[in-house]
Amino acid sequence: MNIPNSCDALATVDAVSAAMGKTWVAASQEPTLESIIPGPQARSAATEATAKLQCLWWPELATEAYVALGVYRLSDSAATSLLSSLRSTPEYNSVDPGIPGAVAFSYEDRGGEFLTSTVYVFVGDSWFAGGSLGPAARIVPLVLDAAKRSIG
């Protein structure tokens, strides 16, 4: 599977705006790994990825909100280890990806000042990750669509 070569190929501004319900713009900077991926094992896997693309969008009007998406090519051992960890962590909920052979999870962190959400989709050797403020239900379709478009 090919990793998208641009943020617009990963998710268009229109798709992000539709998912989040406001007018969004592509940020001029890359997101921090922490804004996409909670947890040390997942961050380690992303850091060791053989290829990656990370993208960030903000609402047109300044707020604390953001959408961060990343796609990472993982080795078989890194993917196996990370999937095993996610399956054994009750905070990560299984999501039906609607993609044959794919596995997906969502996680919401209610700690701190804001609700943050994370969505992971694993398909082939690629791991799609999304992070945002607000409920996971808003970004699940965005991350799943990025994965579907990358394989199709």
Listed by start position, the domains of the chain span 7-151
Task: State pTM to two decimals.
Answer: 0.92
Per the CB < 8 A criterion, the answer to whether 15 and 140 are in contact is no
State mean pLDDT over 92-100.
94
CB 3 within 8 A of CB 150: yes
Q: How would residue 119 be classed by pLDDT, with cut points 50, 70 and 90?
A: very high
- Residue 55 pLDDT level (bands cut at 50, 70, 90): very high
Q: Cα–Cα distance between 72 and 149 in angstroms, integer?
A: 15
Residue carrying the six token digits 């909100």? 65
pLDDT computed for residue 152 by the predictor: 67
* Banded model confidence at residue 7, pLDDT cuts 50, 70, 90: very high
CATH class of 7-151: alpha beta
- What's the mean per-residue pLDDT of the chain? 91
Q: In this structure, which amino acid lies at residue 25?
A: V
